[in-house]
Structure 1
Amino acid sequence: MEYHVLAVGDVVGEAGVRHLSRHLRALKKWKKIAFTVVNGENAAGVGLTPDQADDLFAAGADVVTLGNHTWGKAQIAPYLEDSPYLLRPANYTGRAPGKGEVIWDMGAVTFRVVNLIGRCGLDFHADNPFFTMDRILKGEKATFTLVDFHAEATSEKLAMAYYLDGRVSALWGTHTHVPTADERVFPKGTGYLTDLGMTGPVESVLGIRPEQSVETFLGGLPGRYQVASGECKMQGAIFTLDSTTGLCTAVERIDIR
């Protein structure tokens, strides 16, 4: 049987949260989505508050993943401990609050979701994400395994996809906020996209007011970054998965404005 999984790119600011709330459930109904993963690490600009986490789940997210701004809002730590469906990178130290994977039982099938953070240009203090995945895949079995790899380098994401090809159902990248056009099914059946893009203001630089980003590159003092205003977009991808094999048969990018 086929299952459609929706992965939504980094939600940026309250504007991104509102856009997700307006459009996610309609998209899920239209595309017959069985399971939804949303990256929410920028919902507060930098980090995620408990109230925003509640809003993402209310909007229709089954699992919310994070990344390098996991600790941007310190008050999220107790929420990470209490909710099994809010994930921080699994390759963070075991001393960090929360966990980096969850298995969702839907009866007929189970979905494992894993959140990883890259080390190339992002977080060299994290454990090796390749070894982390080896350890996780030796644990409890699931029908489908989905991986949100929050990483800077396209090379690290691609290398991980080849490393996990045939061992996970789908792997997508988050963090850069710019969608890539390389959606594909790898030779052994893993669905892949280097970066989902973002959910937030269209007229922005990665969600931030353009004039502030320009000032930064001119060498000035842009002040505290502010999320841009105006029309928003919701970007991501839909992975079609086969429960017989546990692998992917198709990948479709989405961009809802």
Structure 2
Amino acid sequence: MNILAIGDVVGSIGCKFLRAHLPQLKKVKGVDLVIANGENSADGNGITPTSARFLFDSGVDVITAGNHTFRRKESYELFDSCETLLRPANFPSLAPGRGFCVVDMGRIQVGVLNLMGVVYMESMDSPFDVADRILAEGVPKITLVDMHAEATGEKRSLAYYLDGRVSAVFGTHTHVQTADEGILDNGTGYISDLGMTGPKRSVLGVKPELVIQKMRTKMPVRFDLADGACQMGCVLFTIDEKTGKTTAIERLLIE
């Protein structure tokens, strides 16, 4: 089974780039399931019902999120009603939505777990403990984890902790694709960050001059999204349906 994981989709420009390239990529690579991080898919951060629907209609099967999950109040109801729109599972239980879903593909089921790191980020329940709890409740043989986190060490630690218990762990949030893709000792595929789907000439999707202004002056600055040529950072995991282990991993940067 081939599962494609796509890095943080930034704004409408990133959504449109994904729609323009995903169908062909799915065809060429024989993709069975697509997971994309959509927490920045609305212009100005967050996710809206409109941006979520755009991603689903473009061929994404499961949308994961992160620290910007609840920036837009208009999405709260959608998180409750849409089973394949996830927020990190280590959010408090009173938060809308869910952090784990199961996609029924007929011949096989695929689990997707969304977690968020706590190093250099908002205080949350331990992603290690939450992962243990959800895995103990029972998950499909093929289960993938989006670890939305700042620190590479936290992402890699979680991957080694879950090695052999999940099919793959991929990182999101930093918007910069890493070159450490591989398969861990017990068959779990891993990469520290998928990268970003959005404008290449940018700082994490934002116009560089605005980020420079913010860093130099420490004054409030409106972060407008950049435009121009885009890229889509993603990873293709090939997973054995019988064992649930990753047998191949391919890092892709679509331009």
Bin the TM-score by the shorter chain: over 0.9
- Number of aligned residues: 254
Give 2:21's aligned residue: 23
Q: Secondary structure at the match of 1:133?
A: helix
Give 2:239's aligned residue: 241
How far apart in 2 are the matches of 1:36 and 1:220?
A: 39
Give 2:8's aligned residue: 10
Give 2:90's aligned residue: 91
CA deviation map 1:194-251 (0-9, x unaligned):
0000000010000000100111222254621000010111111001100121110111
Q: Secondary structure at the match of 1:18?
A: helix
Q: Secondary structure at the match of 2:32?
A: strand
Give 2:167's aligned residue: 169
1:176 maps to amino acid: T
How far apart in 2 are the matches of 1:72 and 1:27?
A: 31
1:54 partnered with 2:53: yes
Give 1:198's aligned residue: 196
Q: Which moved more, 1:8-17 or 1:103-112?
A: 103-112
1:216 partnered with 2:214: yes
Q: Secondary structure at the match of 1:166?
A: coil
Contact 2:141/2:166 (<8 A) preserved: no
TM-score normalised over the length of structure 2: 0.98
2:106 maps to amino acid: G
CA deviation map 1:52-83 (0-9, x unaligned):
00000001100000100001111110000110
- For the structure 1 residues 255 and 219, does the alpha-carbon distance in structure 2 shift closer, same or farther, using more than 3 Å as the test? same
Give 2:109's aligned residue: 110
Q: Give unmatched runs, 5+ long, in structure 1.
A: none
How far apart in 1 are the matches of 2:49 and 2:28?
A: 29
Contact 2:176/2:195 (<8 A) preserved: yes
Q: Secondary structure at the match of 2:185?
A: coil
Contact 1:117/1:151 (<8 A) preserved: yes
Considering only aligned residues, what root-mean-square deviation do their CA atoms show, in Å?
0.9
2:31 maps to amino acid: I
Runs of at least 4 residues off by over 6 Å = none
Following TM superposition, by how much is the alpha carbon of 1:122 offset from its aligned partner in structure 2, in angstroms?
0.8
How far apart in 2 are the matches of 1:200 and 1:222?
A: 23
How far apart in 1 are the matches of 2:81 and 2:243?
A: 33
Pick aligned residue for 1:135 from 133, 136, 140: 133
How far apart in 1 are the matches of 2:159 and 2:32?
A: 23
Q: Give unmatched runs, 5+ long, in structure 2.
A: none
Contact 1:109/1:143 (<8 A) preserved: no
Following TM superposition, by how much is the alpha carbon of 1:140 offset from its aligned partner in structure 2, in angstroms?
2.9
